[in-house]
Amino acid sequence: MSNVITEQLTKAGQKIEHDSFAIVDNEVGAHPAYSDAEWPIVRRMIHATADFEFNGLSRFHPSAIEAGINAIAKGAAIVADVEMICVGLSKPRLSHFSVTTHHFISDPDVIAQAKAENTTRAVQAMRKAQKQGLLDGGIVAVGNAPTALLEVIRLIKRGEIRPALIVGMPVGFVSAAESKDALSELNDIPWIITQGRKGGSTLVVSALHALLALVEARQKKSR
């Protein structure tokens, strides 16, 4: 039986999405690098970008899928580096799981503090999220700003936060690849990354939507 909450709202939309997934599966063929739980996330990222390089560039902490499923099932907060991620996520799907989204990149106090300390808005946004207690047990979603990801890593290493999951996929040329490499070195915090320069908010949204679908499927199976 198909998912209800995390599917497209019309039969036409569902058919297009399912046909697209089937094309991706057919063109990729075997994908031994990914588990049965990981592949739906990679597949949805390929579907969102038409970029088959993510079959290989995507990497998962061994506990990432379970951590993400458990966090969403508990209604964890999602803290994003940019508004684009929050806008891209389906509000009905999030509401069904009582998941809230947060971003602070454009808040006046964040901008003022970044200017005062000569840091980036992304750094100050994550510090604000930490002060509000959103990062402990929450899902950190970074698709744009490497400095946001590096700040989260710094706070983790200082023992100040412990996110349930980090979806770290900043895109770009300055510190993007390096920030993801640094995240991949963390052993006790689950993460999902894209290696190298490629990334972006679209990928983060795709990964989170795939996780939402996995949560719904598991809940239906347990009934």
Give pLDDT, residue 56: 95
Over 60: is that where the pLDDT of 1 sits?
A: no
Give pLDDT, residue 9: 63
Q: Provide the whole-model pTM.
A: 0.93
Residue 195 near residue 177, CB atoms below 8 Å = yes
Of all residues in the chain, what percent carry a pLDDT higher than 90?
A: 83
Of 223, 159, 207, nearest to 59 by C-alpha is 207
> What's the distance, CA 88 to chain centroid?
12
φ/ψ of residue 33, rounded to 5: -70, -15
Annotated catalytic residue 47: yes
Of 160, 183, 175, nearest to 60 by C-alpha is 183
The residue from 18, 31, 47, 96 that is catalytic is 47
pLDDT tens-digit readout, 13-72: 778 778 888 898 889 988 999 999 999 999 999 999 999 999 999 999 999 999 999 999
Positive or negative, the CA dihedral 199, 204, 207, 210 is: negative
CATH 3.40.50.10230 holds for 59-222: yes
Residue 90 near residue 153, CB atoms below 8 Å = no
Over 90: is that where the pLDDT of 219 sits?
A: no
Q: Categorise residue 101: left if φ over 0, alpha if ψ from -120 to 50, beta otherwise.
A: beta
pLDDT tens-digit readout, 103-149: 999 999 999 999 999 999 999 999 999 999 999 999 999 999 999 99
